[in-house]
Amino acid sequence: MKEIDKDVNRLETITQRFSKIGSEPELEKEDIATVIENFVEYLQSRISSKVTIKVNRNDVQNFNLPINKYLFEWVIENLCKNSVDAMVDGKGVIIIDLLEDEKHFFIDITDTGKGISSNQFNQIFQPGYTMKKRGWGLGLTLAKRIIQQYHKGKLFVKHSVIGRGTVMRIQFKK
């Protein structure tokens, strides 16, 4: 029953996401670390057991920012699912690091997947671009739009090495 409850909540979340696209979403101050941890707990049981997701707070104490929780979770889901799809032989690790400096909050999503060549760093955010056998190539386009237009942040490839993995970065001004 507990898992069915989670799935019903998930369907409500999906409905909320689609109702927010194309209109100005309401932003509320949320503890992003808690939002990510709760979402990862849900997602972990729904991806391959060969892939582990870890969240590191890294001494970030106050990570409260105005976000639309439903859309923000969609971004995290998309980045994590892309990481899962990039895993060699379907196994690996995804690490979500919460970091900060004097001016910014950062969310680094690191995977142990196939990696991306540097000449594709900008292409992966273009509508229709995909490295998968199926799919429309809209996930990263939407994720970038949600972060940039709705949340006034940045989403980009921080680092990638072919055969070793990729680090995607979300950056917010404090």
Convert the pLDDT of each residue in 155-169 to its tens digit.
Answer: 999 999 999 999 999
Distance CA 46, CA 2 (A): 14
Q: What is the CA radius of gyration of the chain?
A: 16
Residue 5: predicted pLDDT? 74
Say what the pTM is: 0.85
Is residue 101 pLDDT above 70, yes or no? yes
pLDDT band of residue 60 (cuts 50, 70, 90) is confident
% of the chain with per-residue pLDDT over 90:
69
Instruction: Count how many domains the chain has.
Output: 1
CATH number of the domain enclosing 97: 3.30.565.10
Alpha helices in the chain (DSSP H): 2-20, 32-44, 69-86, 139-145
> Which residue range(s) make up the domain with 120?
2-173
